[in-house]
Amino acid sequence: MRISRKLVGVGVLALMTGCSTLNSLNPFASKPKGDQPAKLVELKGSMAVRTAWKLDIGKARGYQFSPALTGNTVVVAGGDGDIARVEATSGNVLWRIKAGTGLTAGVGTDGNLIVVGGEDGQLLAFDMDGKAVWKTQLSSELLSAPVVSQGVVVARSLDNRIVGLDARNGDKKWTVQKIAPPLTLRNAPGMIVAGNDVIVAQPGGKLSSLILATGAPRWDVEVGVSRGATELERVTDIGGAPVLFENDVCAVSYQGRVGCYDVVTGAPRWNRDLSSEVGVAVDQRFVFAADDKGALHAFTRDTGSSSWKNDKLSFRRLSTPVSYGRAVAVGDYEGIVHFLSREDGNFLARAATDGSPIVGSPLVAGSNLIFQTQNGTVTAIAVE
């Protein structure tokens, strides 16, 4: 079988609303299985980075949480139920609350409302001062961060049901039930808003564009293409959240492809074979993707041609990368953030967080890059 040993090594199938899921260890495990991670060599950095601030928001408890930017503040959440809003530059805590339940997904915000996923499929909404506004019960557990835009909250539950709710009171406006394949990764494929649409990553390696107001379909496209003789070999899922840049939406899939697509029609601009369980980073020139063997790739955004590949971080279970200035940064399973040249992939600098894996998607906030770890440390690294 050509399937990744890390996936087969899980060996546990969990039934959830009629759909089996394979628990992917990559984002959450404290130590890699199978192939040994590359040892880090001494680095004489050519770029100055420093830790600007740190905040403990509580352990992820096996879920993925990503910070969300609103104005000059960042909203963060942890698995134990803590939610905080902090100043992006200084890390000064403006407020911190308890959600009243453990959390499984977040954070989504439009600058007016904050939404997170609670235990047992609850969707919780708070105002920008941390006051509870409403909560509603969804059909199953939330793993993906909800999104908020144009008065609509969109959430996707584990049974692959997508709902649009009124941002004022949580009332359901529309529901879309998507068919899921027999086996999927237990990961957190994300969503993004593109104009009047929401683009939702789907099990089976698909992207779906839905009209925000009604949930009506705009287009569907396959990023991952199932291959192989068995269900395990045919498992493919979108890694992380798709990324919108100008008129392109770019994404990557596990045992599938990386590519960019026209945001209006879904027509492919290009795609290349690649396997990844985390999302992509996109800037004016490049699409960056970390594959499931620990290599970081740079593809030209217009044609998808390979620009460079750095495999010196093999099997260090890389996070979703982030592009900033002359560097692309990526975290690993030890919570170390590596800065590489976006032009040629050479190492520029390195910074530590708390020793646990980076989870979720990093965030650019001014001159700070913000990472969240499995153990719940939110770290802002200043690039100087």
Write down the pLDDT at residue 35: 83
Question: Cα dihedral sign for 253, 246, 114, 124?
Answer: negative
Non-local (6+) Cβ contacts of 115 within 8 A are 106, 107, 108, 109, 123, 124, 125, 126, 146, 148, 153, 155
Average pLDDT over residues 157-186: 87
Average pLDDT over residues 339-367: 96
Least confident range from 21-30, 83-92, 375-384: namely 21-30
Q: How many helices (H) and strands (E) does the chain have?
A: 1, 35
Write down the pLDDT at residue 29: 42
Sequential DSSP letters for 328-346: EEEE-TTSEEEEEETTT--
DSSP assignment letter at 42: P
Locate the domains of the chain by residue range: 5-383
Question: Cα dihedral sign for 330, 332, 334, 335?
Answer: positive
Fold of 5-383: Methylamine Dehydrogenase; Chain H (2.130.10)
Tens-digit pLDDT profile for residues 257-291: 999 999 999 999 999 999 999 999 999 999 999 99
Tens-digit pLDDT profile for residues 55-73: 999 999 999 999 999 999 9
Sequential DSSP letters for 125-155: EE-TTS-EEEEEE-SS-B-SPPEEETTEEEE
Q: What is the pTM of this model?
A: 0.89
Q: Is 183 exposed, middle or buried (0-12, 13-18, 19+ CB in 10 A)?
A: buried
CA 264: distance to chain centroid? 22
Sequential DSSP letters for 99-128: -SS-EEEEEEE-SS-EEEEEGGGEEEEE-T
What does the block give as tokens for 315?
Answer: 């099997």
Query: Residue 62: how many CB atoms within 10 A of its CB?
Result: 15
Average pLDDT of the residues of the chain: 89
Average pLDDT over residues 191-200: 96
> Band of the pLDDT at 189, cuts 50, 70, 90?
confident
Judged against a pLDDT cut of 80, whether residue 186 lies above it is answered with no
Strands of the sheet containing 191-194, edge to edge, are: 191-194, 197-202, 206-211, 217-222
Query: Residue 131: how many CB atoms within 10 A of its CB?
Result: 10
Please state the φ and ψ torsions of residue 8, each to the nearest 5 degrees: -60, -35
Is 21 within 8 Å of 181 (Cβ atoms)?
Answer: no
> Band of the pLDDT at 34, cuts 50, 70, 90?
low
What does the block give as tokens for 381?
Answer: 């690294």
CA-closest candidate to residue 261, choices 251, 249, 273, 243? 249
Distance, in Å, from the CA atom of 239 to the CA atom of 258, rounded to the nearest integer, reads 10
3-state secondary structure of 212: coil
Distance, in Å, from the CA atom of 190 to the CA atom of 225, rounded to the nearest integer, reads 19
Write down the pLDDT at residue 293: 96
CA 86: distance to chain centroid? 21
Tens-digit pLDDT profile for residues 74-131: 999 999 999 999 999 999 999 999 999 999 999 999 999 999 999 999 999 999 999 9
Tens-digit pLDDT profile for residues 115-135: 999 999 999 999 999 999 999
What does the block give as tokens for 34?
Answer: 């199978």
Is the pLDDT higher at 30 or at 82?
82
Average pLDDT over residues 143-147: 95
